[in-house]
Amino acid sequence: MKRANQLVLWWHHAFLEKRPSVSMGLFRLAAAFTVGCHMIPSFFHMQDNYLPTAFKTKNFFFFPMPILELVEHSPAWVIWSFMWLFLGSLAAFAAGLYSQISCILLMLSCYYFYALNNLHIGTLSFDILLVTMFLLCLTASHGDFLSLDSLRRGKDGLHKRRPYAIQRLLQLQLAWTFWYTALSKVTAGGNWITGNPYLALMNYPPMGVVRDFPLKAWLAQQSGLCYAIGLSVLTMETLIPLLWFIPRTRPAGIAIGIVFQLLLWATLHVPTIFLFLFPPMMLLFIRPEAIVRWFEARQAAQAQRGRAVLLYDGQCGFCVASVKRLRAMDLFGWVDPLDFRAQPDLTALHPALTPERCRSEMILIEPDGKIWGGFQAFQRLSRRLPLLAGAAPLMHLPGAGSVGDRVYRWVAAHRMLLHRTPACSANQCGLPPSSNSWS
């Protein structure tokens, strides 16, 4: 009975327990990057790869014949539509916009192109990527953090908790892949014990899979050393996953695993799916609570150094909603938003402040006392808030200041109309006092 209880507890901890989904949010970025890097180059040569003029090969083991036949007869407009679907869903998935739905659409478009032509994109590593993406399709947890979904919800997602099952299955997938790879090298026709595959690889012709790295010619003459390297590859593939599961050896295991993947990529022309996907999968072994604590420590350190102050109009629903989103972007707690109407003495915050100025524009007071208003405040925020970093180059383009300032002035003048309260038919509408608190 006690054993059964322990087993249930262990199972609960392993798969069912709700834990922060922060790691899945970060992993989403890696998965999107990997899919994009693998697929997008094939779209630069549509005539060669996908359109009716292309040379195509089929993966008969993976797809049932009816699907291959259906896809084979795609007219050009369908092929182009799927390309746009792929690009759109990839962008949405990377940005974490309707993260689960975009993941499913991305997966669907990957399948389409895989069925259409296996030649360039179909590799064993792509099959691994699809297994990973399949698991990501089953959850929305990857949209909780560092995502537009989190901005839509107005929460940073750092403390959002979800069942751990998918993250655990991704960990297991990686470990099993390593172990089964090692197993197949010594059984089922694998010749890493009975032969000397590494020596053969080093002697492959120049157009072979081995890169032309500095020691290659020398290694090609060292039969014993090559055999030993082959055995050490086997040992690494067996031992590295063990290190991931033991908390004390986990950091070393992850570091060794990443170096192992780097060496693989540096010596062989293997698809970069291995390099782009496996190291982030290894990082999924880091306890999500530790990542949350890391962010909290950064926020606490920022609080000690002093935060910037952002003054906004608490009676404007649009401003309140915008600040809520801004707060979600502020992962390291750099800025402290305050309703200027709730401040008894604005000059105590900065001598240059007046209620009129605060009413006319958003004000940012940096920890060193520098004060910025309107679009300039946005420009400064884009340099400081990680989730606005992507917009920073755009905001600092030549001429962006004058255009941005005009847009900002228009939005500021009409801000009362921009919130969603249907009762607001004129530019006079304020929020009830209780709605002013957004935290």
Partner 1 sequence: MLVRRSVQITWFVILWMLIFHYETLRANYLTPLAGRPLPKLALLFPPAGWIMFFQVDRAYGFAEVQGVRANGEPVRLDPHAIFETPAVGYDNIHRNVLVAVLSKGYAPSFCRFLKRKFPEYERFTVLYGVYPDVVAAPDQTRYAVAYRCEPEPRGP
Residue 238 sits in the site that holds partner 1 (CB under 8 A): no
Q: Taking CB under 8 A as the rule, does residue 127 contact partner 1?
A: yes
Contact string 382-421 vs partner 1 (x = CB under 8 A): ----------------------------------------
**Rounded-to-integer distance, Cα 201 and Cα 223, Å:** 11
Q: Which of 204, 218, 245, 410 binds partner 1 (CB under 8 A)?
A: 204
CB of 91 to partner 1, least distance (A): 17
**235 part of the interface to partner 1, by CB under 8 A:** no
Per CB under 8 A, contacts with partner 1 among 147-166 are: 163, 165
Total residues contacting partner 1 by CB under 8 A comes to: 71
Among 28, 160, 185, 325, binds partner 1 (CB under 8 A): 185
CB of 158 to partner 1, least distance (A): 23
- Find the binding residues for partner 1 in span 329-368 (CB under 8 A): none
Q: Does 45 bind partner 1 (CB under 8 A)?
A: yes
Contact between residue 226 and residue 198 where contact means Cβ atoms under 8 Å apart: yes
Contacting range for partner 1; rule: CB under 8 A; set: 61-69, 279-287, 367-375, 411-419: 61-69
Q: In the complex with partner 1, which residue's Cβ is closer, 67 or 255? A: 67
In whole angstroms, give the CA distance from residue 112 to residue 86.
10
Q: Which of residues 5-24 bind partner 1 (CB under 8 A)?
A: 11-12, 15-16
Q: Which stretch binds partner 1 (CB under 8 A): 143-151, 191-199, 242-250, 361-369?
A: 191-199
Min dist. Cβ of residue 288 to partner 1 (A)? 17
Buried b (16+ CB within 10 A) or exposed e, 259-281: ebbeeebebbebbebbbbbbbbb
Could you say whether residue 64 binds partner 1 (CB under 8 A)? Answer: yes
- Is the CB of residue 373 less than 8 Å from the CB of residue 364? yes
Q: Is 227 in the site for partner 1 (CB under 8 A)?
A: no
7: alpha, beta or left, given left = phi > 0 and alpha = psi -120 to 50?
Answer: alpha
Q: Using the minimum distance from each CB to partner 1, give the nearer residue, 124 or 403.
A: 124
Please identify, using beta-carbon distances, which residue of 252 and 262 lies nearer to partner 1.
262
**Which residue, chain included where needed, has tokens 């920022």?**
302
Say whether residue 75 binds partner 1 (CB under 8 A): no
Binding residues among 279-308 for partner 1 as defined by CB under 8 A? none
124 binding partner 1? (CB under 8 A): yes
Longest dimension (CA), the chain: 84
| Residue 271 engages partner 1 in binding (rule: CB under 8 A) | yes
Candidates 51-59, 316-324, 362-370, 414-422: pick the segment binding partner 1 (CB under 8 A).
51-59
Place of tokens 């809520």: 324
Interface with partner 1, residue 100, by CB under 8 A: no
**Nearer to partner 1 (CB atom), residue 263 or residue 300:** 263
Does residue 215 belong to the site contacting partner 1 (CB under 8 A)? no
